[in-house]
């Protein structure tokens, strides 16, 4: 789900991509020297495609020549205008990855408990502190008490708020009676829980029967437990909402001074709308005060990608993309690539940003 949408877009517009000068050399470098980390080269190709799609007459990759000094990734030309473009692909933060790992470890004892007791439950938690501060037995202790007391009353303390509820099997069994369901996708969680919260992290375990000839799909589910959690800690939100000032400062050194420059930043995020909104706010403030050292940097484009194992029928992946332009300083230079998308078909994209409350609500209803 993190690769297919990008390669699919390249495949659909391969003919147009081949009109970009130097793209075959860039592809060869990706396949040979960068095959363990191809994300940056794929992102550069998508940016080059966007310029050609928007009518830029000539787009070319700038060769990396030893001794020539630092150079941008792309030069783009059209009548009366030429720009230099640098591309940076940012991966999810280490803090976010560690937080998800910690949340998964807190959920594991619940799965074991439910398996031993033959219980099937949905556990929904909102942590108020950083997950690394949560005791190992905190969550399982609350779930055990709820099961033993047969009480659906939610709990609330200084660590988290949460609730435990039984699984309603009606929806899942109605679907499984006539179809198979991909086990590790969000659709399975949606059918078990009744809805799927795209802003939360999830951990699921079950006793299930594999479908004939389709081992990753479920034919029947006998017992299951789902733990869904979000972190509302202000410290955690700030840690995950990394702004791009250091990235821009590094990329700006690649740009020349003989033409206006633009930096394209690709940000992959699954931390939820609250974190992405905070990141956008920080980026806006940083862009307004950023002073280019030697280049004529004018704009920064940030494309935010939210990949998911989708709940949509007959699909196992999907992606939400938001593009935001950030103006550097004060100038009147028009942006070179207005309202573009890199992965999402532009005639199918929706206006607005995915962290807007309305957009987030629509995403949860998919």
- Supply φ then ψ for residue 102, to 5 degrees: -65, -40
Residue 49's closest CA among 193, 231, 264, 234? 264
Are 276 and 199 within 8 A, CB to CB? Answer: no
Question: Which tokens go with 226?
Answer: 């789902």
Reading phi first (left if > 0) and then psi (alpha if -120 to 50, else beta), residue 352 is in: left
Q: Distance (Å, rounded) from C-alpha 306 to C-alpha 322?
A: 9
Backbone dihedral region of 22: left (phi > 0), alpha (psi from -120 to 50 degrees) or beta?
left
| CA pair distance 52, 104, nearest whole angstrom | 43
| pLDDT one digit per residue (tens) for the chain, 366 residues | 667 788 889 999 999 999 999 999 989 988 887 777 788 899 999 999 999 999 999 999 998 776 667 899 999 999 999 999 999 998 777 888 899 999 999 999 999 999 999 999 999 999 999 999 999 999 999 999 999 998 889 999 999 999 999 999 999 999 999 999 999 888 899 999 999 887 789 999 999 999 999 999 999 999 999 999 999 998 998 888 777 888 899 999 999 999 999 999 998 876 677 788 888 888 898 898 999 988 999 999 999 888 765 555 555 557 788 899 999 988 899 999 998 999 988 776 666 677 765 444 444 444
Helix (H), strand (E), coil (C) string for 271-309: CCHHHHHHHHHHHHHHHHHCCCCCCEEEEEEEEEEEEEC
Take residue 27 and report the two structure tokens written for it.
């592809």
Q: How far, CA to CA in Å, does 211 sit from each of 37, 170, 172?
A: 34, 20, 15
d(C-alpha 203, C-alpha 105), whole Å: 9
Two structure tokens written together for 234: 């202000």
Q: What's the number of CA atoms in the CB half-sphere (13 Å) around residue 342? A: 29
Each domain of the chain, given as residue ranges in start order, spans: 4-93+242-317, 95-235
- CA–CA separation, 124 and 165 (whole Å): 9
**How large is the angle between the packed helices 23-32 and 39-53, nearest 10 degrees?**
160
Predicted pLDDT at 352: 67
Whether the pTM exceeds 0.85: the reply is no
CA-derived radius of gyration, the chain? 24
Question: Which among 85, 89, 65, 64 has a CA at the least distance from the CA of 75?
Answer: 85
> Given this model, what pLDDT does residue 95 score?
87
Task: State the Cα–Cα distance between residues 224 and 204, nearest whole angstrom.
Answer: 7
String of DSSP letters for 152-198? ---EE-SSEEEEEEE---HHHHHHHTT--EETTSHHHHHHHHSS--T
What CA–CA distance (Å, rounded) separates 41 from 48?
Answer: 11
Span between the terminal Cα atoms of the chain, in Å: 17
Distance in angstroms (rounded) separating the CA atoms of residues 360 and 356: 6
Query: Could you give the CA distance from residue 218 to residue 220 in angstroms, rounded to a whole number?
Result: 6
Q: Which helix (H) or strand (E) holds 3?
A: none
Question: H-helix or E-strand containing 252?
Answer: helix 245-252
pLDDT of residue 359: 45
Is 164:146 a contact under the CB 8 Å cutoff? yes
Among 119, 124, 125, smallest CA distance to 149 is for 119
DSSP state of 131: G
Instruction: Please give the Cα distance from 207 to 115 (Å, whole number).
Output: 8
Give yes or no for a contact between 76 and 62, defined as CB atoms under 8 angstroms apart.
no
């Amino acid at each position: 789900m993190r690769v297919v949408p990008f390669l699919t877009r390249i495949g659909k517009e391969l003919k147009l991509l081949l009109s970009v000068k130097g793209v075959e050399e860039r592809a060869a470098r990706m396949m040979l020297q960068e095959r363990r980390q191809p994300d940056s080269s794929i992102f550069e190709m998508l940016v080059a495609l966007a310029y050609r799609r928007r009518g830029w007459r000539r787009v070319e990759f700038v060769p990396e020549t030893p001794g020539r000094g630092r150079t941008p990734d792309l030069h783009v030309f059209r009548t009366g205008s030429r720009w230099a473009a640098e591309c940076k692909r940012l991966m999810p933060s280490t803090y976010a990855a560690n937080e998800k790992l910690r949340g998964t470890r807190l959920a594991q004892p619940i799965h074991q408990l439910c398996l031993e007791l033959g219980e099937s439950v949905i556990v929904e938690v909102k942590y108020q502190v950083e997950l690394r501060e949560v005791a190992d037995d905190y969550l399982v202790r609350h779930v055990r008490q709820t099961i033993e007391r047969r009480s659906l009353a939610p709990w609330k303390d200084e660590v988290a708020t949460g609730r435990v509820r039984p699984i309603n099997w009606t929806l899942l069994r109605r679907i499984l009676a006539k179809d198979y369901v991909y086990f590790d996708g969000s659709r399975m969680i949606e059918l078990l829980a009744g809805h799927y919260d795209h802003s939360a992290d999830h951990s699921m375990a079950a006793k299930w029967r594999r479908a004939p000839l389709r081992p990753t799909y479920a034919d029947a589910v006998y017992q299951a437990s789902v733990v869904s959690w979000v972190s509302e800690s202000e410290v955690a939100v700030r840690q995950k909402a990394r702004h791009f000032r250091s990235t821009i400062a590094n990329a700006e050194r690649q740009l020349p001074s003989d033409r206006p420059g633009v930096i394209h930043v690709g940000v992959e995020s699954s931390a939820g709308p609250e974190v992405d909104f905070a990141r956008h706010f920080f980026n806006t403030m940083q862009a307004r005060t950023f002073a280019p050292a030697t280049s004529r940097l004018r704009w920064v484009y940030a494309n935010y990608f939210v990949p998911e194992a989708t709940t949509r029928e007959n699909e196992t992946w999907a992606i939400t993309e938001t593009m935001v332009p950030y103006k550097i300083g004060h100038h009147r230079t028009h942006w070179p690539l207005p309202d573009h998308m890199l992965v999402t078909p532009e005639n199918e994209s929706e206006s607005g940003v995915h962290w807007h409350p309305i957009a987030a609500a629509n995403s949860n209803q998919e």
